[in-house]
Amino acid sequence: MQHIDTILKNGTIVTMDKSYALIEDGAIAIQHDTIIAVNTTRKIIKHYSADNEVDCTSLTIIPGLVNAHTHIPMTLLRGLADDLRLDVWLLGYMMPVEREYVTPEFVELGTLLGCAEMIQSGVTTFADMYYFEECVAAATASAGMRGVCGQTILKFPAPDAESFEAGLARCRSFLEQWHDHPLIIPAVAPHAPYTTTDDLLKSAVKLAQEFDVPLHIHLSETAEEVENSLDEHGVRVIPYVDSIKLFKAKTIAAHCVHIDAREVGTLAAKRVGVAHNPTSNLKLASGIAPVTEMLKAGISVGIGTDGAASNNDLDMFEETRLAALLAKTESDDPTSLPARQALEMATILGAKALHIDHLTGSIEAGKRADLAFLDLNRHHVLPHFNRVSEAVYSRIVYAAKSTDVLHVMCNGQWLMRDRELLTIDTDHLHRQAQQMAADIDTFLKAREEDILSKLLAIGELQQEESFEVQVKARLSDPAVVHHLLERPDVTIAKKSHYRQHDTYLSFEDSDYRLRYREDDYISADNRLTNVRSRLTLTESGKEREFENAVVLSRSRYIAQATRPLRFYREYLQAAEEHTIVKDRERWHVDYQGLRLYINLDKLRSPSSDGYFIELKSRTWSLRDAEQKATVISRLLSYLGIAPSELIRSDYFDITN
Amino acid sequence: MQHIDTILKNGTIVTMDKSYALIEDGAIAIQHDTIIAVNTTRKIIKHYSADNEVDCTSLTIIPGLVNAHTHIPMTLLRGLADDLRLDVWLLGYMMPVEREYVTPEFVELGTLLGCAEMIQSGVTTFADMYYFEECVAAATASAGMRGVCGQTILKFPAPDAESFEAGLARCRSFLEQWHDHPLIIPAVAPHAPYTTTDDLLKSAVKLAQEFDVPLHIHLSETAEEVENSLDEHGVRVIPYVDSIKLFKAKTIAAHCVHIDAREVGTLAAKRVGVAHNPTSNLKLASGIAPVTEMLKAGISVGIGTDGAASNNDLDMFEETRLAALLAKTESDDPTSLPARQALEMATILGAKALHIDHLTGSIEAGKRADLAFLDLNRHHVLPHFNRVSEAVYSRIVYAAKSTDVLHVMCNGQWLMRDRELLTIDTDHLHRQAQQMAADIDTFLKAREEDILSKLLAIGELQQEESFEVQVKARLSDPAVVHHLLERPDVTIAKKSHYRQHDTYLSFEDSDYRLRYREDDYISADNRLTNVRSRLTLTESGKEREFENAVVLSRSRYIAQATRPLRFYREYLQAAEEHTIVKDRERWHVDYQGLRLYINLDKLRSPSSDGYFIELKSRTWSLRDAEQKATVISRLLSYLGIAPSELIRSDYFDITN
Q: How many residues are present in chain A?
A: 656
Task: Say whether pLDDT at B465 is over 60.
Answer: no
SS3 category, B563: coil
Task: Say whether pLDDT at A465 is over 80.
Answer: no
Tell me the β-bridge partners of A585.
A497, A600
- B285 close contact with A: CB closer than 8 A: yes
Range of lowest pLDDT (A205-209, A544-548, B90-94): A544-548
Rounded Cα distance, B19 and B397, in Å: 19
Chain A, residues 35-94, CB within 8 A of chain B, namely 76, 78-80, 82-86, 89
- A281 close contact with B: CB closer than 8 A: yes
Percent of chain B with pLDDT over 70: 97
Amino acid sitting at position A187:
A
Task: Say whether pLDDT at A408 is over 90.
Answer: yes
Q: Report how many helices (DSSP H) and strands (DSSP E) chain B contains, helices first.
A: 22, 29
Task: Say whether pLDDT at A529 is over 90.
Answer: no
Rounded Cα distance, A90 and A96, in Å: 8
State the nearest Cα–Cα gap between B80 and chain A, in angstroms.
6
Rounded Cα distance, B462 and B557, in Å: 6
- Domains defined for chain B, CATH in brackets: 2-57 (2.30.40.10), 63-441 (3.20.20.140), 458-655 (2.40.320.10)
CB A81 within 8 A of CB A89: yes
Amino acid sitting at position A523:
S
pLDDT tens figures, A348-361 = 999 999 999 999 99
Rounded Cα distance, B432 and B590, in Å: 64
Task: Say whether pLDDT at A466 is over 60.
Answer: no
CB B468 within 8 A of CB B616: yes
- B99, B104, B109, B114 alpha-carbon torsion, rounded to 10°: 80
Chain B residues touching A385 at Cβ < 8 A: 79-80, 437, 440-441
Rg (CA), chain A: 32
For residue A372, give the nearest of A400, A341, A338, A342 by alpha carbon: A400
Rounded Cα distance, B219 and B238, in Å: 7
Task: Say whether pLDDT at A231 is over 90.
Answer: yes
Task: Say whether pLDDT at A376 is over 70.
Answer: yes
- A344 close contact with B: CB closer than 8 A: no
Rounded Cα distance, B542 and B5, in Å: 78
CB B248 within 8 A of CB B214: no
- A133 close contact with B: CB closer than 8 A: no
Q: What is the DSSP string of A132-192?
A: SHHHHHHHHHHHT-EEEEEEEE-SS-BTTBSSHHHHHHHHHHHHHHHTT-SSEEEEEEE--
pLDDT given at position A619: 78
Rounded Cα distance, A410 and B386, in Å: 36
Q: What is the DSSP string of B288-313?
A: ---HHHHHHTT--EEE----GGGTS-
Q: What is the DSSP letter of B322?
A: H
Rama region for B52: left / alpha / beta (φ>0; ψ in -120 to 50; rest):
beta
Q: How many residues are present in chain B?
A: 656
Task: Say whether pLDDT at A462 is over 90.
Answer: no
Task: Say whether pLDDT at A197 is over 70.
Answer: yes
Percent of chain A with pLDDT over 90: 72
Q: Measured between alpha carbons, how far apart are the two ends of chain B, in Å? A: 91
The mean pLDDT value of chain A amounts to 92
Neighbours of A443 (CB within 10 A): 16
pLDDT tens figures, B56-71 = 999 999 999 999 999 9
Tell me the β-bridge partners of B500.
B519, B582
Mean pLDDT of A449-471: 75
CB A6 within 8 A of CB A413: no
Inter-chain touch A328–B390, beta carbons under 8 Å: no
Burial of B520 (0-12, 13-18, 19+ CB in 10 A): middle
Chain B residues touching A379 at Cβ < 8 A: 113, 116-117, 120, 426, 429-430
The mean pLDDT value of chain B amounts to 92
pLDDT tens figures, A588-607 = 999 988 889 999 999 998 88
Percent of chain A with pLDDT over 70: 97
CB B40 within 8 A of CB B81: no
For residue B407, give the nearest of B8, B114, B4 by alpha carbon: B8
Task: Please tell me the pTM assigned to this model.
Answer: 0.88
Nearest CB to A436 within list B79, B311, B383: B383
Task: Say whether pLDDT at B551 is over 80.
Answer: no
Inter-chain touch A312–B76, beta carbons under 8 Å: no
Chain A, residues 393-452, CB within 8 A of chain B, namely 394-395, 398-399, 401-403, 426, 429-430, 433-434, 436-437, 440-441, 444-445, 448
Mean pLDDT of A140-152: 98
pLDDT given at position A300: 98
pLDDT tens figures, A101-121 = 999 999 999 999 999 999 999
State the nearest Cα–Cα gap between A76 and chain B, in angstroms.
6
For residue B291, give the nearest of B401, B62, B281 by alpha carbon: B281
Task: Say whether pLDDT at A476 is over 90.
Answer: no
Q: How many CA atoms lie within 13 A of B237 on its CB side?
A: 27
For residue A469, give the nearest of A557, A549, A582, A584 by alpha carbon: A549
Phi, psi of B418 (to 5 degrees): 50, 40
* Dihedral over Cα of A223, A226, A230, A235: its sign: negative
Q: What is the DSSP letter of B77?
A: G
CB B207 within 8 A of CB B243: no
- A391, A397, A402, A404 alpha-carbon torsion, rounded to 10°: -10
Rounded Cα distance, A232 and A238, in Å: 14
State the nearest Cα–Cα gap between B110 and chain A, in angstroms.
10
Inter-chain touch A386–B326, beta carbons under 8 Å: no
For residue B252, give the nearest of B342, B351, B153 by alpha carbon: B351
pLDDT given at position A530: 77
Give the CA distances from residue A293 to residues A219, A347, B282, in Å, rounded to whole numbers and listed in that order.
17, 19, 18
Inter-chain touch B335–A288, beta carbons under 8 Å: no
Task: Say whether pLDDT at A144 is over 90.
Answer: yes
Inter-chain touch B120–A433, beta carbons under 8 Å: no
Chain B residues touching A67 at Cβ < 8 A: none
Task: Say whether pLDDT at B619 is over 90.
Answer: no
CB A264 within 8 A of CB A290: yes
pLDDT given at position A169: 96
State the nearest Cα–Cα gap between A313 and chain B, in angstroms.
6
Task: Say whether pLDDT at B184 is over 80.
Answer: yes
Strand pairing report for B576-591 and B594-605:
antiparallel
Mean pLDDT of A311-335: 96
Inter-chain touch B382–A433, beta carbons under 8 Å: yes
* Interface contacts A/B by beta carbons within 8 Å: 214
Rounded Cα distance, A174 and A152, in Å: 11
Tell me the β-bridge partners of A282.
none
Mean pLDDT of A170-186: 97
**CA B554 from centroid of its chain's CA atoms:** 37
- B305 close contact with A: CB closer than 8 A: no
Inter-chain touch B394–A332, beta carbons under 8 Å: no
Q: Give the E-state strand segments of A246-397 in sequence order.
A: 251-255, 273-276, 301-303, 371-374
* Nearest chain A residue to B404, by CA: A403
- A335 close contact with B: CB closer than 8 A: yes
Nearest CB to A82 within list B398, B402, B429: B398
pLDDT band at B266 (very low <50, low <70, confident <90, very high): very high
Task: Say whether pLDDT at A562 is over 90.
Answer: no
Task: Say whether pLDDT at A635 is over 90.
Answer: no
Chain B residues touching A429 at Cβ < 8 A: 379
pLDDT given at position A602: 93
pLDDT given at position B511: 86
Q: Report which secondary-structure segment, H or E, holds A513.
A: strand A512-522
**CA A261 from centroid of its chain's CA atoms:** 26
Q: How many CA atoms lie within 13 A of B61 on its CB side?
A: 31
Task: Say whether pLDDT at B553 is over 90.
Answer: no
pLDDT given at position A641: 81
Inter-chain touch A399–B84, beta carbons under 8 Å: no
Give the CA distances from residue B125 to residues A437, B15, B141, in Å, rounded to whole numbers and listed in that order.
35, 17, 11
Task: Say whether pLDDT at A368 is over 80.
Answer: yes
Inter-chain touch B385–A437, beta carbons under 8 Å: yes
Chain B, residues 213-252, CB within 8 A of chain A, namely none
Inter-chain touch A314–B284, beta carbons under 8 Å: no
pLDDT given at position A542: 64
pLDDT given at position A204: 98
State the nearest Cα–Cα gap between B362 and chain A, in angstroms.
23
Mean pLDDT of A120-125: 98
pLDDT given at position A547: 67
Task: Say whether pLDDT at A648 is over 90.
Answer: no
pLDDT given at position B531: 79
Task: Say whether pLDDT at A454 is over 80.
Answer: yes
Chain B, residues 545-604, CB within 8 A of chain A, namely 570
- Mutate which of B382, B432, B434, B571 to test chain A, going by most A C-beta atoms within 10 A? B382
Q: Which residue has the higher pLDDT, B67 or A472?
A: B67
Burial of B597 (0-12, 13-18, 19+ CB in 10 A): middle
* Nearest chain A residue to B333, by CA: A285
* Dihedral over Cα of A607, A612, A618, A620: its sign: negative
Task: Say whether pLDDT at B239 is over 80.
Answer: yes
CB B20 within 8 A of CB B29: no
- Mutate which of A313, A335, A380, A449 to test chain B, going by most B C-beta atoms within 10 A? A380
pLDDT tens figures, B301-339 = 999 999 998 889 999 999 999 999 999 999 999 999 999
Mean pLDDT of A195-202: 95
State the nearest Cα–Cα gap between A48 and chain B, in angstroms.
34
pLDDT band at A526 (very low <50, low <70, confident <90, very high): confident
**CA B48 from centroid of its chain's CA atoms:** 50
pLDDT given at position B134: 98
Task: Say whether pLDDT at A543 is over 70.
Answer: no
